């Protein structure tokens, strides 16, 4: 065989070997869309931006992730994000477990009233068997969960009066984000629950269409709800809302194993940073109390319930807990209760 022909054949073979790698590199999209509720500066949204920035930076721009805050890819309706991901509208997301609970019944565990008394209890769930079980459920829905975050314990505020007993809630119109369990909780406490997107909440508070709302303190402060007639806030820690950093299975499968590991590590770091930001300033468990001080400096009357006062609310909502535990799954609920007892002892 002549040298020139041998060179041509080798060149063709080399090109053929290179084609799968070139094709794989070219299959990456110019942009990947990440959906999240709200916007900076709230920790929830900050975690999403942090994840996108880490992935884009560490991949050298090969995986270019752009954040679409305010759930704008689903018209502001955060309850549609999971469906939109499965339809290919959303590539990455930081989901609130409250918003996806209507589609994934197991994450409703975290909305069982007064299940988690502390951050230690919360951590025992997301970092243990319960968290792994729930990630397994998500994976069966064409979603790849990579890391946990935390939206925070949801406290209740209103424009009418301090809330210290269940009777204080009677007749108040309280906004909640999503999930029929919240209708049951507030009906059990004698309030009038109103489901409403976050985008509609601020105008509803300013006009008095609703009397109050329940959200983490960091969000209350960031959106200056004290200027929307929310002058009374009760710290009752009735539920906490974990976040799930996830992406669609089809997008995940399009990445090389090395890039999958990169995306996972970035999600885990963003999740750790987001949890620390969520807990900043709340006092106790190793943090300062700057957020509580800020509330009072803004003229908000802050009522912190004792353990005995919380029990009164827990007793009123026990039928709701039992009803929804059956929906979530008795085995998963028992596993969660056991994990919480272990860290409480």
pLDDT tens profile 122-150: 999 999 999 999 999 999 999 999 999 99
Q: Which of 107, 63, 106 is nearest to 260 (CA)?
A: 63
| 3-state secondary structure at position 157 | strand
pLDDT recorded at residue 198:
80
Pairwise CA distance, residues 265 & 271, whole Å:
10
Q: Which CATH class is domain 3-105+118-151+241-279?
A: alpha beta
> pLDDT tens digit string along 273-316?
999 999 999 987 667 999 999 999 999 999 999 999 999 999 99
Does an H or E element contain 174, and which?
Answer: strand 173-176
User: Cβ distance 233 to 213 under 8 Å?
Assistant: no
Instruction: Provide the pLDDT for residue 285.
Output: 66
- CA–CA dist 181, 111 (Å, integer): 7
Token pair 């406290």 is at which residue? 155
Asked if 248 contacts 86 with a C-beta cutoff of 8 angstroms, the reply is yes
Cα–Cα dist 19/11, whole Å: 12
pLDDT band at residue 5 using 50, 70 and 90 as cut-offs: very low
Residue 1 confidence (pLDDT) above 80: no
Rounded CA separation 337/135 (Å)? 18
What is the per-residue pLDDT for 9? Answer: 38
Asked if omega into 41 is within 30° of 0 (cis), the reply is: yes
Contacts of 323 (CB under 8 A, 6+ apart): 184
Mean pLDDT of 87-91: 97
Instruction: Give the number of other CB atoms < 10 A from CB of residue 195.
Output: 13
For position 22, what pLDDT does the model report? Answer: 37
* pLDDT score for 78: 87
**Which whole number is the average pLDDT over 189-210?**
93
- Residue 286 pLDDT: 65
CATH 3.40.190.170 domain position(s) in the chain = 3-105+118-151+241-279, 155-239+283-344
Do 173 and 268 form a contact (C-beta atoms < 8 A)?
no
SS3 89: coil
Q: Which residue has the higher pLDDT, 6 or 224?
A: 224
**Rounded distance between C-alpha atoms, residue 121 and residue 242, angstroms:** 12
b/e map 162-185, b = 16+ CB within 10 Å: ebbebebbeebbbbbbbbbbbebb
Could you give the CA distance from residue 345 to residue 341 in angstroms, rounded to a whole number? 6
Question: Do residues 248 and 144 lie in contact, with contact meaning Cβ atoms separated by under 8 Å?
Answer: yes
Counting other chains too, the contacts that 40-44 makes at CB distance below 8 Å and 24 or more residues apart are 40/69, 41/222, 42/218, 42/219, 42/222, 42/223, 43/151, 43/152, 43/218, 43/274, 43/277, 43/278, 44/94, 44/96, 44/149, 44/151, 44/219, 44/243, 44/274, 44/278
Tokens of 40: 């900076």
How far apart, in whole angstroms, are the C-alpha atoms of residue 308 and residue 117? 12
> In this predicted model, what pLDDT tens digit does every residue of 236-283 receive, in sequence order?
999 999 999 999 999 999 999 999 999 999 999 999 999 999 999 998
Domain 155-239+283-344 is found in CATH 3.40.140.10: no
111 touches 98 (CB < 8 A): yes
Strand ranges inside 188-248, DSSP E: 192-195, 212-215, 232-235, 240-248
Residues 25 and 258: beta-carbon distance below 8 Å: no
| Cα separation, 235 vs 314, whole angstroms | 14
- Residue with token string 């589609």: 103
């Amino acid at each position: 065989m002549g040298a020139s022909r041998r060179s041509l054949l080798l060149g063709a073979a080399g090109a053929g070997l290179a084609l799968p790698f070139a094709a794989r590199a070219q299959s990456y999209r110019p942009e990947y869309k990440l959906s999240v509720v709200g916007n900076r500066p709230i920790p929830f949204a900050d975690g999403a931006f942090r994840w996108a920035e880490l992935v884009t930076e560490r991949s050298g721009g090969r995986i270019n992730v752009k954040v679409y805050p305010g759930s704008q890819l689903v018209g502001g309706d955060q309850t549609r994000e999971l469906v939109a991901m499965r339809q290919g509208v959303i590539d990455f997301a930081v989901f609130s477990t409250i918003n996806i609970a209507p589609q994934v019944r197991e994450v409703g565990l975290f909305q069982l009233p007064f299940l988690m008394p502390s951050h230690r209890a919360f951590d025992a769930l997301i970092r243990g068997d319960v968290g792994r079980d729930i990630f397994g459920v998500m994976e069966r829905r064409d979603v790849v969960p990579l890391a946990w975050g935390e939206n925070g314990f949801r406290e209740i505020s209103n424009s009418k009066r301090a809330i210290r007993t269940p009777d204080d809630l009677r007749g108040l119109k309280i906004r909640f984000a999503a999930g029929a369990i919240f209708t049951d909780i507030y009906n059990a406490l004698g309030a009038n629950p109103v489901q409403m997107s976050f985008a509609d909440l601020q105008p509803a508070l300013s006009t008095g269409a609703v009397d109050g709302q329940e959200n983490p303190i960091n969000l209350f402060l960031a959106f200056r709800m004290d200027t929307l007639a929310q002058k009374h806030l009760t710290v009752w820690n009735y539920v906490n809302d974990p976040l799930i950093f996830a992406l669609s299975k089809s997008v995940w499968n399009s990445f090389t194993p090395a890039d999958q590991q990169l995306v996972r590590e970035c999600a885990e770091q963003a999740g750790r940073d987001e949890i620390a930001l969520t807990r900043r300033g709340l006092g106790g468990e190793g943090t300062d109390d700057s957020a509580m001080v800020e509330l009072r400096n803004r003229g908000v009357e802050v009522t912190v319930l004792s353990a005995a006062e919380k029990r009164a609310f827990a007793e009123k909502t026990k039928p709701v807990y039992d009803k929804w535990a059956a929906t979530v799954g008795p085995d998963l609920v028992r596993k969660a209760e056991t994990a919480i007892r272990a860290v409480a002892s």
